[in-house]
Amino acid sequence: MEFNKYFQTDEDCYRYLSETKWSFENPYQCKKCGHLKYGKGKKPYSHRCCKCNYDESPTSGTMFDKLKFSLLIAFHICFKISTKKKGMSSLELSEEFGLRQKTVWEFKWKIQQAMTSSRMSQLEGKVQVDEFLIGEYEEGKVGRSGDSKKKLVIVGLEILEDKKGVGRAYAQVIEHASSKEFRPFFETYISNDATVITDAWKGYLPLKKDYPNLEQIPSEKGKGMQQLHIHIMNIQGWLRGIHHHCSKERMQGYLDEYHFRYNRRAMMGSIFDLLIKRMVQSEPKRLIKSKIKTVL
């Protein structure tokens, strides 16, 4: 209700983008000549440089540039994807707003890019790590089968002490279950001082040099790291239930979307604002070309 009250027209959205794009922390500076003073532009809340007369709109250079639908609808889509516990598929969004599914699918890709981890906060304390597969059942292909068509993902989850539950989590698509593939994930997302718990797979052994507190325990079909495997099942259930299918090229985007919400589950009141800020501060990114194939 608060969202609908605050954003009723496109002009409301332009005002919000303008206040986000040119703030006290990030004041206006002309993109063409670097001048700092501006006047009113042609479009709502646009800034016109007082020196070279370059007219810049609040959407220019952001992920809202060259939208194929109204800015108000774009804000509604961002709000629903960021605040709903399970997000929404492009099919659901296209039906609700009367848009082509491909159009929503392309815009959702931009949103997922903005949801990529900032990589500024590593997992600390006790961290459980494992890999899992995403995809349809393949006869004769089990475990870490190298020639499987499924997507292989490594995931790490913080385990809070004194039975306080779980903390943050990150996941990354990898090609093979090897130390070479594991290392970039570890270096990006896990503190070297963390107590890392993995199963007994040999691919983790070379990482002990840089992660001296790494411990390997028997998996026992997931019982050895119960919290992590509940997290994995939740991811798999979300992908099957909401999106049904996802190409390998788009998989990382869906993992980023899931963990953007998951890692901010205690601050849902500000998650929409953070998403818009990221989309304003990021240049539009090229869409990965792949067939939709009922990618929802």
Domain membership of residue 295 (yes or no) is no
Task: Give the CATH number of the domain where residue 152 resides.
Answer: 3.30.420.10
Of 216-220, 248-252, 272-276, 287-291, give the lowest mean pLDDT range: 287-291
Q: Which domain holds residue 199?
A: 126-263
DSSP conformational letter for 190: B
Q: What is residue 246's DSSP assignment? A: -
Alpha carbons 156 and 176: distance in angstroms, whole number: 16
Residues 47 and 8 reside in one and the same domain: yes
Q: Sorting pLDDT into bands at 50, 70 and 90, what band is 283?
A: confident
Tell me, yes or no, whether 131 and 236 share the same domain. Answer: yes
Asked whether residue 286 is domain-assigned, the answer is no
Has residue 120 been placed in a domain? no
Q: Classify residue 145: in a domain, yes or no.
A: yes
Q: Is residue 292 part of a domain?
A: no
Residue 179 to residue 182: CA distance in whole angstroms = 5
Give the pLDDT of residue 285.
66
Other beta carbons within 10 angstroms of residue 27's beta carbon come to: 9
pLDDT of the residue at 162:
75
- Residue 290: inside a domain: no
Give the model confidence (pLDDT) of 189-231 as tens digits.
Answer: 999 999 999 999 999 999 999 999 999 999 887 788 999 999 9
What would the pLDDT profile of 172-182 be if each residue is shown by its tens digit?
999 999 999 99
Average pLDDT rounded to a whole number, residues 107-136: 93
The answer to whether residues 13 and 62 touch, using CB atoms and an 8 Å cutoff, is no
pTM of the model: 0.89
Assess whether 204 and 179 both reside in one domain: yes
Residue 104 lies in a domain: yes
Same domain, 109 and 191: no
Structural domain count, the chain: 2
Question: Is there a domain that residue 94 lies in?
Answer: yes
Q: Is the dihedral of CA 38, 39, 40, 45 positive or negative?
A: positive
